[in-house]
Structure 1
Amino acid sequence: MSAFTLHGRGLVGGVAEGEALVTSEALSGWGGVEPRRGRVIELRHELVGQSFAGKVLVFPGAKGSSGWSGMFHMSRLMGTAPAAMVFTTMNTKIALGVVVTRVPAITDLDADPLTTVRTGDWVRVDADRGEITVTRADG
C-alpha cells in the first residue's frame, strides 16, 4: 500500500473517510442524481447508475440549476449523502450544496484530485486541516 496527502481549503469542517468515487465530469443535481438511493441518474454522465452514498465524491463541481443543493440536501436527509466531497471548481451551487449537505468538503488542492485520486482509493478527508490522505492498495 502507498499513501499521499494533498492540501487545500476546507469549506465545511469535519473528518470523514471512505472509498473514493471519482469523475472528471461535473454533476447535475436536479435531474442528475436520485437522492433516495444516492446515485447518479444523468444518462450521459460517466457515473450513471453508480452510488455516491457513503463514499468520498471527487468531482469538478456542480452544474445546472440551483436545485443542485436541494438534491444533495435531500440525500443527507435520506441517509444517502456522500461521506465527504472533494472538488475543483467553486460556484454558488456547490457552495450552498456542501453547506446544506453537512459533509466535510475541500477544494483548491495543491494537486489535481481528478488525476491523482482513483475510484476505489481509500480517502480520509480532514476539512478542519484542509487535507486529504489517499491510500492506494495497489501501490
Structure 2
Amino acid sequence: MIIKGRSIAKGTATGELIITDAPISFLSGVDPETGIVIEKGHPLEGISIAGKILAFPFGKGSTVGSYVIYSLKKNDCAPAAMINAEAEAIIAVGAIISRIPMIDQLEGGLSSLKSGMNVTVDGDRGELICKDWANS
C-alpha cells in the first residue's frame, strides 16, 4: 500500500517503523552518541531510534535539536528516515542537513501505522510504502 504525503527531505530508506504519539525533543531527549531516547516519561524512553523509520507527530524544544539530529547522523545512530504528522522547522532542518529522508502530512494521518511494520519512506515522491500492510 502506498500512502501519499508531502516531501520534506529527499532520499529513500526502508526499515522497521517505530511510532509514538508524543512529540520528540532531540535536545536532551535523545542521546546523540547512542540514538536512545532518554527523555524521562517519553513513550519511547530507553528505545534506540538508530536505523529505524521514526514516526512522531512533531518536534518540540530548542532549535539546537536540528544539530542533535546532525550529530546522530555523524555518529551512525540516526533514524533511517522520519515521518511527522506536521513537520516544523527544527525537525525539517535537521533532516535536510543530515540527509535523512523525511515526509509529513500523510493521507489519513499516522493513526493507521503500527510499530514493527516494514516500510519505505520515499522523500523524493512524498510517499510511504507499507510492505507488510496485510500483516499489521
Class of the TM-score when normalised by the shorter of the 2 chains: over 0.9
**Higher share in strand:** 1
What TM-score do the two structures reach when normalised by structure 2? Answer: 0.94
Aligned mate of 2:45, from 27, 44, 48: 48
Which residue in the other structure is 1:123 paired with?
119
Q: Deviations over 1:29-64 (max 9, x none)?
A: 111000111110001200000010000000111101
Which consecutive unaligned segments of at least 5 residues does structure 2 have? none
Structure 2 counterpart SS, 1:27 = coil
Which residue in the other structure is 1:108 paired with?
105
Letter paired with 1:36? E
Letter paired with 2:71? M
Which residue in the other structure is 2:93 paired with?
96
For residues 12-23 of structure 1, what are the structure 2 equivalents within 5 Å? 12-23=9-20
Letter paired with 1:60? P
What TM-score do the two structures reach when normalised by structure 1? Answer: 0.92
Percent identity among equivalent residues?
Answer: 37
For residues 68-83 of structure 1, what are the structure 2 equivalents within 5 Å? 68-83=65-80
Q: Structure 1 stretches (4+) deviating beyond 3 angstroms?
A: none
Letter paired with 2:123? A
User: Within 2, Cα distance between the matches of 1:16 and 1:122?
Assistant: 11
Deviation at 1:130, TM superposition (A): 1.0
Structure 2 counterpart SS, 1:34 = coil
Greater Cα offset, 19-28 or 102-111 = 102-111
User: Within 2, Cα distance between the matches of 1:29 and 1:13?
Assistant: 21
Q: Check the 8 A contact 2:9/2:92 in 1, yes or no.
A: no
Letter paired with 1:37? T
